[in-house]
Structure 1
Amino acid sequence: MTTKSAPDSKRRSERSRHAIYDAAIELVSEVGYGKLTIEAIAARAGVGKQTIYRWWPSKGAVLLDAFLDLGKQASLEASDEAGRAPEYEIPDTGDLEADLKYVVRASIDEFKNPKYDAPYRALAAEGMLNDEIGAEYVEKLLEPSLQLYVRRLRIAQEAGQVRPDVDPRVALELWTGPLAQRWLQRTGPLTHEYGDQLVEYALYGIAPR
């Protein structure tokens, strides 16, 4: 007598969750955040909209989790290709300028990647209108990334490469702020050369040396 195993509800839920993530990312790129709806996400994912509302209160919350998952999957894929565990720190080669330029260039490449551009813009815009989404956006997505810079700058301080009185959390805004502004408002080309200039101006200032 053969016995049938019970359906794995946890696995089924995970499949549904990832189908919803994929649908949200695809649709926001296709139709924009303004026209994105829970109903459209549910239809694309092949789930009932009540399933989505059971897990998330709004389309913004869905998109935020989908974007976080997208970043996690990209990190895992890159790690698998390199044959090592995921890295969540800025490189420390001993050359602060080179390390910062490396990461800023990587950020520029991500900003310009069509896969990330639309959902990232949607979340940034929604975060300014929706306090709850804005707080989650900062807590789960923005601040963890900025803390990587904080830790790298503190290492540089210990090595005597940065003044001890400098607040790393404020200092990093000298390049991350203009970078985000140019990307969001499209005030100029977003290039590696521009990123390099931001790092150089932040580290050495604009007065004659």
Structure 2
Amino acid sequence: MPETYADLATVLLAWPGLATGRDPIEQQAIVDDANAAVRDFVDRDLLMAERTEVLSGRGTARLWLSVKPVLSVDAVSLWGSPIDGGPGEGWDFDPDSGCLVRGRRLSAVRFGPKWPAGFRNVSVRYTAGYDAVPGAVRRATILAARALHAMAESAGPYKSESLGDWSYTQADSKPFLRDAAGLLLPYRRVGV
């Protein structure tokens, strides 16, 4: 059975440092905030699901699906009319990059038909995502939860403060993602 973000939350809530002396509602809030921050950073859902995406053709040979890895492309329609031929005939795709081409010429797209230019004129129904939260994303979420936990323990939004001629340095707004960002970069949605 595919893992869910709720499964990851259960793992985080079992972490002894988070569970010790903390209100259960506050614990859940830290976990929810860490999960939300990671999802916001990667700007896409990572777990396997069937999706329908509406794209705008640009008169080019390639379109890019937003969720990878792509397991299957089940239906493609252009201006509401299905493209006949099915996978490998009417269209082809690269599972790793999410590249979708018309026809069956993934290896030589410059010779194949183009996606006509238009606003939201291509609809794609496909299955994509990971069966389980990838290890690096799991680790990044744990790092984010631990940093949020530590921030809740600290006194205020300051990195440093002095008293004579009073000065202060404000802490980063989301320092908990600084350590996690390197782990998350390979999973982040990149605009095309």
Q: Under a length normalisation based on structure 2, what TM-score does the superposition of the two structures give?
A: 0.24
Higher RCO, Cα 8 Å, sep 6+: 2
- In our comparison, the structure showing a higher alpha carbon Rg is 2
Structure having the larger proportion of residues in strand: 2
Q: Under a length normalisation based on structure 1, what TM-score does the superposition of the two structures give?
A: 0.22
